[in-house]
């Protein structure tokens, strides 16, 4: 196969990772689907092609959707073997197995009044963080990160120190086998994952014996309805879905809030517009999700030969769906590289699409809306500390600012 210069040099975690958008725009123009040797995967950049693949779950499996860029070190694998064996979760399963794992989550998250009912607690938290601001503040660690963490803690029914343990454990799960890690660092990360798994299993056993109506209780009741103690296999399956969902819930939403604030404050005209017209906040949330997707990419695996956008993709190939690129496709959005809070919201891939569409989208949107509303109302003079370099996480699957210094 001949590989173009664009495809040969494509390296999402290379120098382009902080601002990958110019490369994505070039790919959409020149070679919208290409094979990237560095990833050993076909990269899909246009809205229509991402849409076609994500809506064909039989032709494109999700088993590899979170494929890491490398294997973990042997020493980390040994630590992980002292915890629960990895089982497919809803994100990485297909067909009936996927449906069975997803339904209890989507049922819990769509129970009438549940998401809306969480709004006063979210607003109270947002206000309490703002009350504690003192002049110059890191908006990520003091605002964008704790709000979804505590909200996810409520959802799962975590008590006391378990929210902090779940924070470290879920971040560690996402950090396993990421680039730039030494063996010692990864072993430490693996230990946190195992501690988190064990605590999750204790919660599962506890809620199996005495349900409380939280997410864990409902999922345990649906996936392990039998009386009597949970089997080890039950626990392994429950732990796998709880661990990934907790991270999927708070890390992504924190990135969503952090990116929205970074975008607004680095576009002062857009910030001023929101201060003057706070009813634009829901619009601003959609625009921020479109412009900086917190999950910029996911893999799929071709289960049979396919032709997409005129390109032949062989059976067994890994396919990288670049949501972050599809969300800026000029064939779909006028002037797509412009961040514009007055843009009429339309469909984007920040929450995926098709049968794996995010079950927490309503909750994530609510948290982002409340977070922006509270800060726009209370700190209209907020501005970025000048000349700072806003570093984003170097990852294929999750994207957001690591810190954001602002003053008011």
Which residues here bind ligand HEM, judged by CB under 6 A? 62, 65, 90-91, 102, 105, 109, 245, 248-249, 252-253, 256, 294-295, 298, 350-352, 356, 358-360, 363-364
The CB-of-400 to ligand HEM minimum distance in angstroms stands at 9
The CB-of-340 to ligand HEM minimum distance in angstroms stands at 19
d(CA 405, CA 299): 33
Q: What angle do CA 237, 241, 243 make, to 5 degrees?
A: 115
Side-chain-side CA neighbours of 329 within 13 Å: the count stands at: 20
Contact 196, 168 (CB under 8 A): yes
Which string of DSSP letters, residue by residue, matches 102-164? Answer: HHHHHHHHTSTTHHHHTHHHHHHHHHHHHHH--SSEEHIIIIITHHHHHHHHHHHT--TTHHH
The CB-of-3 to ligand HEM minimum distance in angstroms stands at 27
Which residue in the shown chain puts its C-beta closest to ligand HEM? 360
Q: Which is nearer to ligand HEM, 79 or 263 (CB)?
A: 263
The CB-of-41 to ligand HEM minimum distance in angstroms stands at 15
Q: Which is nearer to ligand HEM, 199 or 356 (CB)?
A: 356
Q: Which is nearer to ligand HEM, 90 or 369 (CB)?
A: 90
Which string of DSSP letters, residue by residue, matches 36-63? Answer: ETTTTEEEE-SHHHHHHHHT-TTTEEST
* Distances 361 to 253, 289, 352, 367 between C-alpha atoms, Å: 9, 11, 10, 10
Residues 6+ apart with CB under 8 A from 350: 256, 289, 290, 293, 294, 295, 323, 327
Q: Which is nearer to ligand HEM, 79 or 369 (CB)?
A: 369
Q: Which is nearer to ligand HEM, 79 or 358 (CB)?
A: 358
* Distances 71 to 67, 178, 240 between C-alpha atoms, Å: 9, 9, 19
The CB-of-73 to ligand HEM minimum distance in angstroms stands at 26
DSSP 3: -
Q: Which is nearer to ligand HEM, 283 or 298 (CB)?
A: 298
d(CA 322, CA 296): 6
Which string of DSSP letters, residue by residue, matches 54-100? Answer: HT-TTTEESTTTT--SSPPPHHHHHHHTTSPPP---STT--HHHHHH
The CB-of-356 to ligand HEM minimum distance in angstroms stands at 3
d(CA 321, CA 33): 10
Contact 218, 108 (CB under 8 A): yes
Strands 137-138 and 297-302 turn out to be: unpaired
Q: Which is nearer to ligand HEM, 175 or 326 (CB)?
A: 326
Q: Which is nearer to ligand HEM, 33 or 109 (CB)?
A: 109
Q: Which is nearer to ligand HEM, 72 or 148 (CB)?
A: 148
Which residue is listed with tokens 């939280």? 214
d(CA 37, CA 65): 18
Tokens of residue 123, six digits: 């607003």
The CB-of-109 to ligand HEM minimum distance in angstroms stands at 6
Q: Which is nearer to ligand HEM, 7 or 44 (CB)?
A: 44
The CB-of-360 to ligand HEM minimum distance in angstroms stands at 2
The CB-of-135 to ligand HEM minimum distance in angstroms stands at 29
The CB-of-295 to ligand HEM minimum distance in angstroms stands at 4
């Amino acid at each position: 196969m001949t590989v173009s210069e664009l495809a040969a040099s494509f390296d999402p975690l290379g120098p382009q990772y902080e601002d990958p958008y110019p490369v994505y725009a070039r790919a959409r123009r020149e070679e919208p689907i290409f094979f990237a040797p560095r990833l050993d995967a076909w990269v899909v950049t246009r809205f229509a092609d991402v849409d076609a693949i994500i809506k064909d779950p039989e032709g494109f499996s999700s088993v590899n959707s979170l494929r890491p860029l490398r294997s973990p070190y042997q020493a980390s694998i040994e630590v992980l073997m002292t915890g629960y064996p990895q089982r497919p979760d809803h994100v990485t399963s297909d067909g009936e197995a996927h449906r069975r794992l997803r339904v209890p989550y989507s049922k819990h998250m769509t129970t009438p009044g549940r998401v809306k009912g969480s709004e006063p607690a979210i607003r109270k938290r947002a206000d309490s963080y703002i009350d504690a601001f003192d002049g110059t503040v890191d908006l990520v660690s003091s605002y964008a990160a704790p709000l979804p963490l505590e909200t996810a803690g409520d959802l799962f029914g975590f008590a006391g120190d378990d929210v902090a343990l779940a924070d470290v454990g879920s971040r560690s799960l996402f950090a396993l086998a990421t680039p730039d890690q030494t063996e010692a660092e990864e072993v430490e990360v693996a230990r946190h994952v195992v501690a988190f798994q064990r605590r999750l299993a204790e919660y599962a056993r506890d809620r199996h014996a005495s349900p409380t109506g939280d997410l864990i209780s409902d999922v345990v009741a649906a996936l392990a309805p039998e009386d009597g103690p949970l089997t080890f296999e039950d626990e392994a399956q429950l732990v796998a879905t709880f661990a990934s969902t907790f991270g999927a819930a708070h890390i992504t939403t924190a990135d969503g809030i952090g990116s929205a604030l970074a975008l607004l404050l680095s576009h002062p005209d857009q910030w001023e517009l929101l201060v003057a017209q706070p009813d634009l906040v829901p619009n601003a949330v959609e625009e921020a999700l479109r412009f900086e997707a917190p999950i910029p990419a996911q893999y799929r695996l071709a289960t049979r030969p396919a032709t997409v956008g005129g390109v032949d993709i062989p059976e067994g190939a890994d396919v990288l769906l670049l949501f972050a690129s599809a969300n800026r496709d000029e064939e779909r959005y006028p002037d797509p590289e412009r961040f514009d809070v007055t843009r009429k919201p339309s469909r984007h891939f920040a929450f995926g699409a098709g049968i794996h569409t995010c079950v927490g989208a309503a909750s994530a949107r609510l948290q982002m809306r409340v977070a922006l509303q509270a800060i726009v109302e209370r700190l209209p003079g907020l501005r970025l500390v000048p000349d700072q370099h806003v570093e984003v996480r170097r990852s294929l699957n999750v994207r957001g600012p690591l810190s954001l210094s602002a003053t008011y």
